[in-house]
């Protein structure tokens, strides 16, 4: 049987493995930062009605410019944006891929700050863009000085800043973003996939867009909108950037059904986002309880928590899986990551972790139980 290694792959793809988290059927899945709350029933009914209407004309191609969706996204974001500032695609991964198709490629480089979202390096490989893993400060923070130093050292064509960072949950200051922009003549992308989970009143990188034509702010409907299965990502930028992305997008890349579902959801943004406060509460609860159980959770502005103090991540992962709890080993030594679920899911995870116990460096299991 022919294997992947037998095919004439491009040189820069040889030896790589596809992206993918475990897809297992378990009672509590908290491994891929999904919003585990279902779409509200009343909103689901309106989305279904919009899909039914869209089905009546699927014999025709969809609006290539997804005009209504761009208007709706601009209205949701505010910040003085119009439809001309908005671009959308099938998930934020496709948005970022199109950015690299337009501004990366052979002979060009992408700087990210590891550890960060693992798809960045995969998207770089897929577009034949050189991936440069920059360094972070202590506790996975990122200061203006460190960003400027890494940009000066590597001179990248494109910079990806994840805010808050995945998989660490680390927030990113506007000062750091502005410093990165001023230090380069290239494209700066701020990936705000988890922006809605930041503390209330936290300013977005969207506020930095005026006068910065090389700054792009990426978002997704997968997380806060509980729309992971629909696949809608988008960005806000100078209209010249959206023109550049038109050069590389496939014709009619957003289906009529995708557009209809997203438009209906955005019309109910208040109801769709009502669950965000609950998710923030469960995230903060995880930070407190993980510390009480003897672990070292990192501060998080996202819908997940990275926690250290795990002597044997694989063993702990497998022990939790045996309890019906799926979390994520992200490859950071001594760490695991868990998504904030519903109150019940969070309780099940914490109870299971307490039952499993904590294994210290010497391999001795210490039972850690809730008082």
Which pLDDT value is given to residue 1? 78
How does DSSP assign 8-30, residue by residue?
Answer: ---GGGTT-----------SEE-
- Residue 143: Cβ within 10 Å count: 16
d(CA 343, CA 285): 9
Which pLDDT value is given to residue 309? 95
Smallest Cα–Cα separation from 196: which of 114, 278, 296, 133? 278
Q: pLDDT (tens digit, 0 to 9) for every residue of the chain, 371 residues total?
A: 788 888 888 888 888 777 766 677 889 999 999 999 999 999 999 999 999 999 999 999 999 999 999 999 999 999 999 999 999 999 999 999 999 999 999 999 999 999 999 999 999 999 999 999 999 999 999 999 999 999 999 999 999 999 999 999 999 999 999 999 999 999 999 999 999 999 999 999 999 999 999 999 999 999 999 999 999 999 999 999 999 999 999 999 999 999 999 999 999 999 999 899 999 999 999 999 999 999 999 999 999 999 999 999 999 999 999 999 999 999 999 999 999 999 999 999 999 999 987 544 334 444 333 32
Which pLDDT value is given to residue 90? 98
Locate 167 and state its tokens. Answer: 């998989």
Classified as helix, coil or strand, 337 is strand
Which pLDDT value is given to residue 21? 66
Q: What letters, b where the CB count within 10 A reaches 16 and e where it falls short, cover 161-187?
A: bbbbbbbbbbbbeeebbbbbbebbebb
CA distances from 200 to 50, 197, 288, 310 (A): 31, 8, 19, 31
Which pLDDT value is given to residue 367? 38
Which pLDDT value is given to residue 20? 66
Smallest Cα–Cα separation from 121: which of 174, 168, 89, 158? 158
Smallest Cα–Cα separation from 111: which of 100, 126, 95? 100
CA distances from 108 to 6, 101, 189, 218 (A): 28, 11, 15, 21
Exposed/middle/buried for residue 120 (C-beta within 10 Å: 0-12, 13-18, 19+): buried
Helix (H) or strand (E) holding 42, with range, is helix 41-55
Taking a C-beta distance cutoff of 8 angstroms, is the pair 68, 259 a contact?
yes
Taking a C-beta distance cutoff of 8 angstroms, is the pair 191, 163 a contact?
yes
Backbone angles phi, psi at 178, to 5 degrees: -65, -40
Which pLDDT value is given to residue 326? 97
Locate 220 and state its tokens. Answer: 């997704």
pTM reported for the whole predicted model: 0.92
How does DSSP assign 227-251, residue by residue?
Answer: -TTT--EEEE--HHHHHHHHTTSPT
Strands 158-162 and 187-191: parallel
């Amino acid at each position: 049987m022919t294997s992947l290694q037998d095919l004439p792959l491009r040189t820069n793809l040889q030896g790589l493995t596809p992206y993918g988290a475990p897809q297992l059927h378990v009672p509590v899945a908290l491994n891929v930062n999904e919003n585990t709350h279902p779409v509200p029933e009343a909103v689901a009914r309106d989305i279904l009605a919009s899909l039914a209407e869209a089905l009546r004309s699927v014999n025709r191609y969809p609006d290539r410019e997804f005009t209504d969706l761009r208007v709706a996204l601009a209205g949701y974001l505010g910040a003085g944006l119009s439809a001309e500032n908005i671009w959308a695609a099938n998930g934020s991964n496709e948005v970022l891929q199109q950015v690299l198709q337009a501004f990366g490629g052979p002979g060009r480089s992408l700087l990210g700050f590891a550890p960060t979202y693992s798809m960045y390096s995969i998207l770089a490989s897929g577009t034949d863009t050189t991936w440069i893993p920059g360094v972070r400060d202590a506790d996975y923070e990122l200061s203006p000085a460190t960003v400027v130093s890494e940009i000066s050292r590597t001179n990248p064509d494109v910079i990806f800043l994840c805010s808050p960072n995945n998989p660490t949950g680390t927030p990113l200051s506007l000062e750091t973003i502005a410093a990165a922009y001023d230090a380069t003549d290239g494209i700066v992308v701020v990936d705000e996939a988890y922006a809605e989970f930041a503390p209330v009143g936290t300013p977005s990188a969207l506020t930095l867009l005026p006068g910065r034509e090389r700054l792009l702010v990426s978002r997704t409907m997968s997380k806060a909108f509980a729309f992971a299965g629909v696949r809608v990502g988008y960005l806000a930028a100078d209209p010249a950037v959206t023109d550049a992305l038109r050069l590389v997008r496939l014709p009619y890349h957003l289906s009529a059904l995708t557009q209809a579902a997203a438009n209906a959801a955005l019309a109910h943004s208040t109801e769709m986002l009502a669950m965000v406060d609950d998710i923030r509460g469960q995230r903060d609860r995880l930070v407190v309880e993980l510390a009480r159980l003897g672990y070292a959770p990192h501060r998080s502005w996202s819908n997940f928590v990275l926690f250290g103090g795990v002597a044997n991540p694989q063993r702990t992962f497998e022990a939790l899986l045996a309890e019906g709890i799926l979390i994520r080993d992200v490859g950071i030594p001594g760490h695991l990551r868990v998504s904030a679920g519903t109150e019940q899911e969070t309780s099940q995870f914490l109870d299971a972790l307490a039952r499993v116990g904590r294994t210290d460096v010497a391999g001795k299991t210490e039972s850690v139980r809730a008082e």
